[in-house]
């Protein structure tokens, strides 16, 4: 059986283009740990990957106080002289922030357990950005008055 040319649907080169969008590569996940001495560690690879500038070493450190415990820490860049500033200090080939007292207050037993945090850029809104550090482990309830429900 012969098919007439007007019955054949011919394709164009444009129709041969891939329709599925190319997957955007996921940004690599960076993690940090709390040392046995209560320091939040920032290895060199993390510093480079998240483009953390060691010449601007001052950060505010905070969390949302919840009845079910602390789920994340937030680091927000600030200036030297800020009364709430913690300093990112050089320790060997990496950097760290001493948070022993804060971590004890929020219930992290870092001397006996390892705490790993996934760290990623975080937009606070109003053009302000910093970092969110999320742990698989949730700390115990802190028991202060300014708690927020989940």
In a domain, 92, yes or no: yes
In a domain, 14, yes or no: no
In a domain, 37, yes or no: yes
Q: Would you state the structure tokens that stand for residue 22, as one six-digit string?
A: 């190319």
Position 9 in a domain: no
Residues 60-68: what's their mean pLDDT? 79
Tokens (6 digits) for 33:
């740990």
Give CB contacts under 8 A, 24+ apart, made by 74-79. 74/122, 74/124, 74/130, 74/131, 74/132, 74/133, 75/130, 75/131, 75/133, 76/124, 76/128, 76/130, 77/130
Structural domain count, the chain: 1
pTM: 0.71
Cβ burial, residue 14 (10 Å; 0-12/13-18/19+)? exposed
The per-residue pLDDT for 5 is 76
Give the domain range for residue 48. 30-135
Domain assignment present for residue 23? The answer is no
Read off the pLDDT band of 52 (50, 70, 90). very high
Token pair 């937030």: residue = 74
């Amino acid at each position: 059986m012969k098919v007439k040319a007007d019955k054949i649907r011919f394709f164009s080169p444009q129709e041969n283009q891939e329709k599925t969008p190319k997957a955007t590569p996921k940004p690599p996940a960076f993690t940090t740990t709390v040392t046995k001495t209560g320091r939040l560690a920032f290895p060199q690879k993390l510093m480079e990957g998240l483009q953390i500038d060691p010449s601007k070493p001052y950060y505010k450190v905070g969390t949302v106080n919840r009845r079910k415990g602390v789920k994340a820490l937030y680091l927000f860049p600030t200036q030297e002289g800020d009364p709430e500033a913690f300093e990112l200090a050089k320790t060997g080939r990496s950097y760290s922030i001493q948070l022993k007292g804060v971590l004890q207050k929020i219930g992290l037993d870092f001397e006996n357990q390892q705490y790993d945090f996934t760290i990623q850029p975080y937009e606070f809104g109003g053009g302000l950005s910093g970092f969110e550090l999320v742990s698989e482990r949730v700390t115990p309830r802190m028991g202060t008055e300014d708690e927020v429900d989940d």
